[in-house]
Amino acid sequence: MNILVTGGAGFIGSHTLIELYKAGHTAVVVDNLSNSNPVALQRVAEIIGIPEIPFYKVDIRDREGLEGVFAKHKLDACIHFAGLKAVGESVEKPWEYYENNIGGTLTLVDVMRRHGCKNIIFSSSATVYGDPVEIPITENCPKGQCTNPYGWTKSMLEQVLMDIQKADPEWNVVLLRYFNPVGAHQSGRIGENPNGIPNNLMPYITQVAVGKRKELGVFGNDYPTPDGTGVRDYIHVVDLANAHVCALQAIGRHCGIGIYNVGTGHGYSVLDMVKAFIRVNGVDVPYSIKPRRAGDIATCYCNPSKAKAELGWEAKYGIDDMVRDSWHWQSQNPDGYPEK
Ligand code: NAD
Ligand code: UD1
């Protein structure tokens, strides 16, 4: 299939492009580069072994820009990564988050349907479960109260896309609820490249290890978990990328609506991650215990068996692969991608 990849220059999008081409698909990328660097796309093309990935610097809120892309390319499906994703920033700038993520997606799906492209895979998040009522989390677990506007954009967009599919059954909508993506492509050429101080655990660990930050703050050690620190379902970004390839097969079978957890099913604590990183990579990661971070929950990991049963997808990589590949990327690119 020829796939429109919105947000394809970003962390998860860039990794997904490689797996798409490996599986025999082709892609057209639309990204406004608000949180990414075009060098990522050059490197993706090098890894795949093609001269370049078709790329348009277009904002998904720009209807005319999107129309131009659909006029030039016959597109079979969209993998929709484009969106703002910084939780803390979304609390400060709720309007910007709703306008970008929800406004942008409404424009995108309208242009898609006008061009007869009614297949979409949407990047959702475990955050839609709020403080989950069951662990491990299955897709039957009710959605919960999100603690920030970012989370609400995901929860609301799930509803929007499901309603659109209900009204027009020609649509296929796959909602992938990602757990905690980490790691990087094995080449070390592409990876996560956060702006400023990282919010998420793994990029903070790698920036401490490479000497850019003094020490990791561990947010709370008094949670009801085995070592008191928060437990999450970390998933290697290459595994996550492959879940999208498997979801395309479901779309090919006309699945209607599909909702899937994308995680490994294993919960690791903050200290498990730090210790694995030190053991596998042989580098130190100084840390100290800090107060809990507002909005954090104790434990979050999934039961990924629905994705295995229905999509034939399961995670292949373990914690050692995740910490090795995260470090490989960061140590080879201490300052991320070169300036645009
Ligand atoms: P990212 O910021 O690296 O990638 C998102 C890309 O979208 C960026 O390249 C950015 O420039 C682009 N973008 C943003 N707004 C746009 C717009 N209006 N028009 C065009 N392009 C736009 O983030 P990521 O980690 O690769 O995440 C991809 C998707 O997965 C996002 O929707 C994110 O919310 C979701 N997600 C991420 C995580 C995670 O931990 N990384 C977890 C759950 C869900
Ligand atoms: C965060 C987002 C969530 C998003 C998810 C996946 C928040 C409140 N939630 O979840 O919406 O879907 O990422 O990208 O930001 N930690 C530290 N020190 C740090 C950073 C993190 O101890 O410097 C701990 C956290 O307390 C948590 C774990 O590490 O226990 C993972 O944190 P993080 O990587 O930010 O992801 P989540 O909180 O799961």
| pLDDT at residue number 340 | 62
Per-residue model confidence as pLDDT tens digits over 216-251:
999 999 999 999 999 999 999 999 999 999 999 999
SS3 236: strand
Ligand nearest to the backbone CA of 60: 1
pLDDT above 70 for 15: yes
Question: Is there an atom of ligand 1 within 6 Å of 82 CB?
Answer: yes
Instruction: Please give the C-alpha separations between residue 278 and each of 275, 284, 324, in angstroms, as whole numbers.
Output: 5, 6, 10
Helices 39-48 + 11-22 axis angle, to 10: 20
Q: What is the mean pLDDT of residues 304-314?
A: 98
Q: Give this prediction's pTM.
A: 0.98
180 lines ligand 2 (CB under 6 A): yes
Residue whose CA lies nearest to ligand 2 atom number 35: 200
219 Cβ closer than 6 Å to some ligand 2 atom? yes
The rounded distance, in Å, linking the Cα atoms of 264 and 253 is 25
Q: Is the CB of 293 under 6 A from ligand 2?
A: yes
| Residue located nearest, by CA, to atom 6 of ligand 1 | 7
**pLDDT by residue (tens digit) across 85-144?**
999 999 999 999 999 999 999 999 999 999 999 999 999 999 999 999 999 999 999 999
For residue 339, name the pLDDT band (cuts at 50, 70, 90): confident
